[in-house]
Amino acid sequence: MNKVNESILTLGSHTGTHVDSRLYLREGREVTASLPLDSFYGKCRVIDLVHVEEKIHRQDLEGFQIDPGDIVLLKTRNSTLGYVKFLENYVHLKMDAAEYLVEAGVKTLGFDYLRVSKPEEQRG
């Protein structure tokens, strides 16, 4: 008798499909093709923020050990929302949290929704 261990994964078609380069944030910056290949692989640090209701602030991240060169994946309640349609009330990163990750020297940030921030809150 063969034993089989099976899993089912359900993903939206946009899941894991793109990278936003610095050009996406500000004109005149690097395009995705110029990013080093090692930005896309390596050990990562998963930060569990499922308790955050809507906005991730610096203080939400400060209790976690984040080292220069880390690949950081933020796990939020977004993962439980599903991707049937775009939801306006998704958990998102506030500028103070983004600045903290930059100061910490994070190499790559992974996020569990279609956007990492709210469009009206971006600055360029």
Higher pLDDT, 40 or 105: 105
Select from 58, 72, 74 the least CA-distant residue to 108.
Answer: 72
Which percentage of the chain shows pLDDT scores above 70?
81
Predicted confidence band of residue 80 (pLDDT cuts 50, 70, 90): confident
Which CATH superfamily groups domain 22-121? Putative cyclase (3.50.30.50)
Q: Are 60 and 93 in contact (CB under 8 A)?
A: no
Question: With bands split at pLDDT 50, 70 and 90, how would you rate the model's confidence at 124?
Answer: very low
Residue 122 pLDDT > 60, yes or no? no
Over residues 8-31, the pLDDT tens digits come to: 877 666 666 667 766 555 666 677
